Amino acid sequence: MTQPAALNDRVKDGTFHFLHNQVFPRFQKRIYPVMTRVTAGEVLLLNVGYEEDPPMALPLEPADEPNRYPIQLYHRVATQVDLNGKQVLEVGCGHGGGASYVMRSLGPTSYTGLDLNPAGIAFCKERHKLPGMDFVRGDAQNLPFPDQSFDAVINIESSHCYPQFSVFLTEVARVLRPGGHFLYSDSQHPMGIAAWEAALANAPMKMVSEKRISKEIARGMEIHSQTWVDVLDRRTPAFLHPVLHKISHTLLMSACRDLESDAKSYRIYCFVKE
């Protein structure tokens, strides 16, 4: 006979996987174009931020300074290897702010940003016009590129949306050249961590390094959160601000608690295709 506790765990696990694999991807597919139309002119990077202790003090151009904390995450992930002269693909490029920073600062020969959000890709093409940079709409689990097309693939705070993460890893390995690197950062809900770790352990690439950065993400998120509050204030009626501020504060405190305890584990990885 199935014990009540075991049955409860199975129900929770089944609910999580149904939400993750069926409901959440459909929600994301609809909400991201709306987010782009509402915020893209002001929000160029969609990750929550990153800050070290002591602070990174990363030198930035004045135009990049408002996005310091999300840019610092891109810098930390992308500089795990030397991208100078490389052909780079970013899967899940969002509004293209991270792509622009890497292209301008780290010297790749070419940079292709891919995203499923058509509104986001249209915005990127209009906003980020740099030599050697291109943006393409496409599916992370079915990359529209030939085998061995890139020297590096970057993926930041996007893969938790993918219903079949292991398929994505197979696609990354397919489009990488031998000796190419997968530069990756994301977090997972506590119920998804075991499956996430198993997929990474079985990836068709060699893991070079892994680092837990939950505390750095929490620190950057807390500082950068005021930017999102300011955007909400500019985009919503004044009578809604007190309610939105309260909701934002509650969500922020909950996320920071999960990160500081490493319950929602946030990590940086570097893989190489042998």
Question: Over the stretch 35-81, which tens digit does the pLDDT of each residue have?
Answer: 787 776 788 999 999 999 999 999 999 999 999 999 999 999 999 99
Find the mean pLDDT for residues 244-268.
83
Helix (H, G, I), strand (E, B) or coil at 151: strand
Contact 68, 178 (CB under 8 A): no
Phi then psi dihedrals of residue 167, to 5 deg: -65, -40
Mean pLDDT of 198-225: 95
CA–CA dist 228, 248 (Å, integer): 9
Minimum mean pLDDT among 14-28, 107-121, 219-233: which range? 14-28
Q: Phi and psi for 156 in degrees, rounded to 5?
A: -130, 120
For residue 6, give the 3-state DSSP assignment.
helix
Bigger pLDDT: 4 vs 138: 138
Q: Distance (Å, rounded) from C-alpha 16 to C-alpha 62?
A: 43
Q: Domains of the chain by range and CATH?
A: 62-211 (3.40.50.150)
Residues above pLDDT 90, as percent of the chain: 66
Quick: pLDDT tens for 177-191. Answer: 999 999 999 999 888
Name the residue among 98, 26, 92, 93 with its Cα closest to residue 69. 98
pLDDT at 232: 77
Closest by Cα among 102, 36, 41 to 72: 102
pLDDT tens for residues 82-114?
999 999 999 999 999 999 999 999 999 999 999
Q: Which long-range contacts (CB under 8 A, 24 or more apart) does 25-34 make?
A: 25/161, 25/162, 25/163, 28/161, 29/116, 32/116, 32/117, 32/119, 32/120, 33/117, 33/118, 33/119, 33/120
Q: What is the pTM of this model?
A: 0.88
User: What contacts 138, CB < 8 A, 6 or more positions away?
Assistant: 114, 115, 116, 144
Q: Which tens digit of pLDDT belongs to each residue from 138-157?
A: 999 999 999 999 999 999 99
